[in-house]
Amino acid sequence: MVTRRKYSLPNCTLILEGLSEAGATRENPSVLSVLVNAECHLQGYPQPLGGGRDFLESLVRVTSRYAQEILSGVRVPPSEDSPPEIVRLAPLDNHLHRLTALTDPDGASLGGTPRHLDLTSVQLFDLVEAIDQFLEDSCALPDWSLELQPISRKEANTGQPLVQRAAPALLGVSSLAAAALVLSFLPVPKEIRRPEEPVPQSSNSEVLEGSQANAGTGEPPTPPTPAEPAATPSPVASPSEDEDKKSDEKPASTDDLPKTLDTAEEITDPTKLNTLQQFLRQQIIAKSDAKITPESDLVYRVNVGQDGSVLGYKPENQAAKDYSGDTPLTGLRYVPTEGGTATAESYGDFRVVFKPNGQPEISPWKGYSGKPSPAPEITDDAELGRLAAKTREQIYEKWTIEPIFENPLEFRVGVTEDGTIVEYSPINQPAYDYEGETPLAELRQYQESFVEKDGEIQQKPLAQFKVVFTPRGIVEISPVRGW
């Protein structure tokens, strides 16, 4: 069975093609045990370097040894009994590195001339990273490994006296001490606070929010300030306008936050907030049948119950008020069947912004108090192999059009344990440009990535894959973290 391994970096791609073991199945990932061909694609060079196993082993040995010499500053000549290498690396001026490829150790090559590729340091270390990915892949040539030997004390000796070698470090320490002495005379800069957008005081919960926010900074509570459109100057208030403002502070039936949440507990746990945030995002995207195209940001404050229900929302600028009935929030707002106002034991407070490009931006209203825990992830190799095969089968079934793109499209795809594609995001620019040429949007099922348990929304464990659509019509799938 023919199998393929691909290790991609921005400036280098290493591709291995060969035969897998006879016992490989879809449930168990195939192991590339016999190498047929190896290709090294480097950015800026249309023709890749290629060859068989001798070429690959030489490329790995020479590149690893050369990178170690650069990092350590110690040049180690090859031993006398070591065979000549098919691949060679040598430094050039201007921080370039010449990679020379031969077709055999005697120096003969196609056309009688060796190929020379001058690499930048970025290209070189992308090549090193691609080789590291190959060496860490247990499903590629498991019978071979790179043998590294430590250098001897004689080779490590640079020939410089200890005082001379220590001089740069001592000079750096003294320079740092001098700089610290000079900086100690400078005044400590005052704290720069980000300006806060005025928020209208329409409920007791908002009054509490202002006092709690100021309590964290040690400043007295700021008086309530009516919210005005961000793009227009604030007019001078008149007595009649003050009366209008008082009437405006009365909660509306559709565009306000429920007062019943005044007694509910606000969710502040970063992980729970992040789960509700992702769930709200997926609900909004699923409801966005017709994209709205406002001229400016539409800012809303949205309360979401612990079960993911949208309990209420409130426009925070004039543009949001104008488009209030046109956003997906209208269809998401939960209304009890028996009437009245939605209630919840706890809720998350979020800021939802609909951008002019139609994309929503969602974040906790008061930010995160810490770093959310990572979402549960499927990491078992056998399970990853099964899900990779099922994902490939789904994509091939729906991908029936002829590719029109010239470069590979790379996506990150999340799959549940039953094989449902629930999320994806482009990785490279061609994937953004030709996203519509893939069946991922048709296969994606947002609602399947969450489950309600004990009255709370929780994320299902996902397998994270890198999915590559090639111009040849081939789909390549591998775990994001490797096999």
Three-class SS string for 311-375?
EEEEECCHHHHHCHHHCCHHHHECCCCCCCCCCCCEEEEEEEEECCCCCEEEEECCCCCCCCCCC
Give the closest residue to 478 by CA, choosing from 384, 398, 414. 384
Residue 190 structure tokens: 């005052």
CA atoms of 348 and 19, how far apart (whole Å) = 53
> Could you tell me which residues come within 8 angstroms of residue 320 by beta carbon, excluding any fewer than 6 positions away?
298, 299, 300
Give the closest residue to 261 by CA, choosing from 316, 318, 301. 301
The pLDDT tens digits of the residues spanning 457-470 come to: 788 888 999 999 99
Give CB contacts under 8 A, 24+ apart, made by 247-254: 248/200, 249/200, 249/201, 249/202, 250/202, 251/202, 251/203, 254/324, 254/330, 254/333
Give the closest residue to 414 by CA, choosing from 380, 387, 435. 387
**pLDDT for residue 77:** 66
Each residue of 155-167: b (16+ CB within 10 Å) or e? eeeeeeeeeeeee
**pLDDT for residue 410:** 94
Cβ atoms of residues 330 and 254 within 8 Å? yes
Placement of tokens 């906790």 in the chain:
364
**pLDDT for residue 29:** 57
136 sits in the region (left: phi over 0; alpha: psi -120 to 50; else beta) called alpha
Cβ atoms of residues 362 and 352 within 8 Å? yes
**pLDDT for residue 226:** 43
Pairing of strands 298-305, 346-354: antiparallel
Q: Reduce the DSSP state of residue 123 to 3 states and report it.
A: helix
The pLDDT tens digits of the residues spanning 235-264 come to: 444 444 444 443 344 333 344 565 555 667
**pLDDT for residue 6:** 86
**pLDDT for residue 191:** 59
Q: Reduce the DSSP state of residue 166 to 3 states and report it.
A: helix
Classify residue 74 by its DSSP letter. -
pLDDT per residue, tens digit, the chain (483 aa), is 678 888 888 889 999 988 876 555 444 457 888 888 999 999 888 888 888 888 999 999 899 888 888 877 777 666 666 667 889 999 888 788 999 987 544 444 444 467 888 998 888 988 999 998 888 888 888 887 877 666 555 555 555 555 555 566 656 666 766 777 666 666 666 655 655 555 544 444 343 334 344 434 444 444 444 444 444 444 444 444 444 443 344 333 344 565 555 667 888 888 888 888 888 887 887 776 555 677 888 899 998 888 888 888 889 999 888 887 788 888 777 766 555 555 567 888 999 998 887 678 889 988 888 888 877 888 888 889 899 989 998 999 888 888 889 999 999 999 998 899 988 888 999 998 888 889 998 898 877 878 777 777 788 888 999 999 999 888 899 998 886
Residue 122's identity, in one-letter code, is: V
* DSSP letter for each residue of 373-405: PPPPB---HHHHHHHHHHHHHHHHHH--SPP--
What are the extents of the domains in the chain? 2-154, 253-373, 381-479
**pLDDT for residue 209:** 39
**pLDDT for residue 112:** 47
Distances (CA, A) of 181 to 177, 184, 187, 305: 6, 5, 13, 54
State the Cα torsion 101-105-106-108 to the nearest 10°. -40
The end-to-end CA distance of the chain, in Å, is 18
Cβ atoms of residues 325 and 292 within 8 Å? no
